[in-house]
């Protein structure tokens, strides 16, 4: 059974930044402008996160199911992501942020794969915060691929499976379980995101479209999180003890 975090002020926050396209369409703009505005929201949240007690931050950038979207939109989104990684990596390195991309890489365009490798190399020494961006990611597929390797291990435990899961997703190292999952855009579902790591996550759903989500909204979500009693299946007094 998962144990309560040793330091409740160092958190793993996962974010599903939903609503970029709808934000743009409501303003009579192309969906591509929504993705660009969404990148700006990601930038400000990453900048603020370490100061708010967040030690691990995971964004859902592109689902494996998103390949079903129009090819032009997918191409535009990949271009925005590539530009974002190339532009931000040096600043992340200065801030002590280590960036990694999880998910499949074999189907990503070569230029985006190169940007991923460059960002990971540039930020490899970061210790202030661990940042993950999920691209071509499916939690179900990740768990399935880990399971095909797990039967050969000599240790049968959740910890051992978590280590294999980290290897197959390119995480490099095992991340702690998610403490708080935030989803914007008014939808209330996980959408195949971090299913293993979110087993005991607290969930926060915002009706704001992602480009509208700011640092004040993140602070509000964290304040709400700190009011919740995390029991991990125990009775309240046992969790407190």
Question: Per residue in 218-228, pLDDT tens?
Answer: 999 999 999 98
* H or E stretch covering 55: strand 54-63
Its pTM stands at 0.89
**φ/ψ of residue 230, rounded to 5:** -90, 115
Q: Domains for the chain: give ranges and CATH numbers.
A: 11-138+178-240 (3.40.1180.10)
pLDDT computed for residue 103 by the predictor: 94
Exposure b/e, 69-95, CB count within 10 A at least 16 = b: eeeeeeebbbbbbbebbeebbeebbeb
State the CB neighbour count (10 A cutoff) for residue 68: 8
Asked if pLDDT for residue 236 goes beyond 70, the answer is: no
Residue range 110-139: mean pLDDT, rounded: 97
Residue with tokens 């995390």: 230
Asked if pLDDT for residue 4 goes beyond 50, the answer is: no
pLDDT computed for residue 5 by the predictor: 40
User: Which residues are the active-site residues?
Assistant: 18, 66
Could you report the per-residue pLDDT of 47-98, keeping only the tens digit for each? 999 999 999 999 999 999 999 999 999 999 999 999 999 999 999 999 999 9
Give the integer Cα–Cα distance in Å for 130 and 50: 9
Q: Are 179 and 5 in contact (CB under 8 A)?
A: yes
Asked if pLDDT for residue 18 goes beyond 60, the answer is: yes
Give the integer Cα–Cα distance in Å for 72 and 75: 5
pLDDT computed for residue 120 by the predictor: 97
The angle that helices 71-95 and 110-122 make with each other, rounded to 10 degrees, is 10
């Amino acid at each position: 059974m998962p144990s309560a975090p040793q330091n409740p002020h160092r958190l793993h926050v996962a974010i599903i930044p939903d609503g970029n396209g709808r934000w743009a369409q409501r303003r009579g703009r192309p969906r591509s402008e929504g993705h660009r505005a969404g990148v700006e929201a990601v930038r400000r949240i990453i900048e603020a996160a370490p100061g708010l007690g967040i030690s691990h931050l995971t964004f859902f950038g592109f689902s494996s199911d998103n390949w079903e979207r129009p090819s032009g939109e997918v191409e535009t989104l990949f271009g925005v992501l590539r530009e974002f990684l190339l532009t931000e990596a040096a600043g992340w390195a200065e801030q002590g942020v280590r960036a990694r991309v999880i998910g499949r890489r074999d189907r990503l365009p070569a230029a985006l794969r190169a940007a991923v490798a460059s960002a990971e190399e540039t930020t490899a020494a970061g210790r202030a915060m661990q940042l993950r961006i999920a691209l071509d990611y499916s939690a179900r597929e990740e768990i399935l691929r880990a399971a095909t390797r797990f039967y050969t291990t000599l240790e049968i435990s959740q910890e051992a499976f978590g280590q294999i899961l980290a290897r197959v997703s390119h995480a490099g190292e095992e991340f702690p379980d998610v403490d708080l999952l935030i989803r914007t855009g008014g939808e209330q579902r996980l959408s195949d995101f971090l299913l293993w790591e979110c087993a005991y996550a607290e969930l926060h759903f915002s009706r704001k479209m992602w480009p509208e989500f700011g640092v004040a909204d993140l602070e509000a979500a964290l304040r709400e999180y700190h009011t919740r009693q995390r029991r991990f299946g125990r009775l309240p007094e046992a969790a407190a003890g």
